Amino acid sequence: MATDKNNLIVYCEYEDGKVADVSLELLTKGRTLADKLGIKLEAVVAGDKLKDIEKQVFPYGVDRIYKVEDHRLYPYTSLPHSSILINLFKEIEPRIAFMGATAIGRDLGPRVSSALHSGLTADCTALEIGDHKDAKTGTEYKDLLLHIRPAFGGNIVATIVNPDCRPQMATVREGVMKKEVKDSNYTGEVIDLDVNKYTSPEDYVVEVIDRHIEKSKVNLKGAPVVVAGGYGVGSKENFDLLAKLADVLGGEVGASRAAVDAGWVDHDRQIGQTGVTVRPKLYIACGISGQIQHIAGMQDSSIIISINSDPEAPINTIADYVITGKMEDVVPKLIKYYKKNSK
Domain regions of the chain by residue span: 8-122+166-204, 225-341
Q: 47 with 74: CB under 8 angstroms?
A: yes
Distance CA 129, CA 149 (A): 14
Distance CA 39, CA 32 (A): 10
Q: Which fold has domain 8-122+166-204?
A: Rossmann fold (3.40.50)
Give me the CATH code for the 225-341 domain, please. 3.40.50.1220
Full-model pTM: 0.83
Alpha helices, DSSP H, located in the chain: 21-37, 54-57, 78-92, 103-116, 195-198, 236-249, 257-261, 292-295, 327-341
Do 225-341 and 8-122+166-204 fall under one CATH topology?
A: yes
> Tens-of-pLDDT digits for all 343 residues of the chain?
556 889 999 999 998 889 999 999 999 999 999 999 999 999 999 999 999 999 999 999 999 999 999 999 999 999 999 999 999 999 999 999 999 999 999 999 999 999 999 989 999 989 999 999 988 999 999 999 999 998 887 778 899 999 989 999 999 988 889 899 999 999 999 999 999 999 999 999 998 888 887 777 788 888 999 999 999 999 999 999 999 999 999 999 999 999 999 999 999 999 998 888 999 999 999 999 998 889 989 998 999 999 999 999 999 999 999 999 999 999 999 999 998 887 6
